[in-house]
Structure 1
């Protein structure tokens, strides 16, 4: 297992913190940022206060890291890997993948760099190919622009949640602080 993967998962678990049961949080009861529903999907039947760290780590690795193909993306950029991982955990893997696909489409110079992607939220070989082609053409500056654009999409996504559901406003400063400081 890569050092980057271990570090990013460990850092994420630390950011997420321990047990929380806020009745206004749409995720419900959580520990290490893992919701009770996700823990149950992985066969955990115990009290969420006692969710094993190792299970939380495994869930982050299988449900988020692997689905976002972050082993492949980490070969291209640690910063993009970190943004996409945190985005996938906080907003959903499909959301993170769709936003990356959208950005790659608008940055492909009218399909001269690579064909447009289907915005389906499934990060697969076509998305990885487009990312590789983008980086091959745009180099480090392009990669920096892409990472910041992903950060911008994350901010916009969180603002939209709070704008559309006033009960979520109490979380918006924390969400935005997390994204800006990542």
Structure 2
């Protein structure tokens, strides 16, 4: 949990405050929590502590953040938030050289643990950039997505 608390501010720095951009398929969003993903949440009234609790429960725990190497874990968390758990896990698996089944089990954790953290970060972010480039909304949001990834690579340099 301590590592999560050290890293969540990074995620929130990417996500920002309340937005309701009609071009965004997530719809109404605050702190990166979208109405589409959380229809029962009053997005406009969502507090920062509530958002942090959602991130810890629905993203950190699902990517098994406490079991991932410190130089890599932020990358997995941020991608899970931005692209969904399944995509983040598959990219992690590809970067670690194991079957990309979308499930973090003992084989995935062992492969991640054996990987050179800097290489893992680079391969993971290559997957992420290729994914962004395929999205139909790249013309609208691509600059922001690429800047987010560049910022994450700077974080990786600090973490390594």
Identify the TM-score tier after normalising by the shorter chain.
0.7 to 0.9
Query: Runs of 4 or more off by more than 4 Å in structure 1?
Result: none
Instruction: Give the alignment's TM-score, normalised by structure 1.
Output: 0.77
Gaps of 5+ in 2: 153-160
Equivalent residues of 2:132, 2:145 under 8 A apart: yes
Give secondary structure in 2 for the equivalent of 1:173. helix
Cα deviations by residue, 1:8-48 (Å, 9 ceiling, x for unpaired): 112212321110100111211100000013333xx53x3x2
1:52 paired to 2:22: no
Q: Equivalent residues in 2 for 1:39-118 (5 A)?
A: 39-40=38-39, 43-44=40-41, 46=42, 48-73=43-68, 76=69, 78-105=70-97, 117-118=98-99
- In the other structure, the counterpart of 1:126 is 107
- In the other structure, the counterpart of 2:149 is 179
- In the other structure, the counterpart of 1:159 is 133
Equivalent residues of 2:18, 2:31 under 8 A apart: yes
1:148 paired to 2:132: no
Instruction: Give the alignment's TM-score, normalised by structure 2.
Output: 0.87
Gaps of 5+ in 1: 106-116, 136-141
- Which of 1 and 2 has greater Rg? 1
Give secondary structure in 2 for the equivalent of 1:37. coil
- In the other structure, the counterpart of 1:170 is 140
Equivalent residues of 2:18, 2:30 under 8 A apart: yes
1:9 paired to 2:8: yes
Give secondary structure in 2 for the equivalent of 1:39. coil
Inter-partner Cα distance in structure 2 for 1:22 and 1:146: 34
Inter-partner Cα distance in structure 2 for 1:5 and 1:82: 9
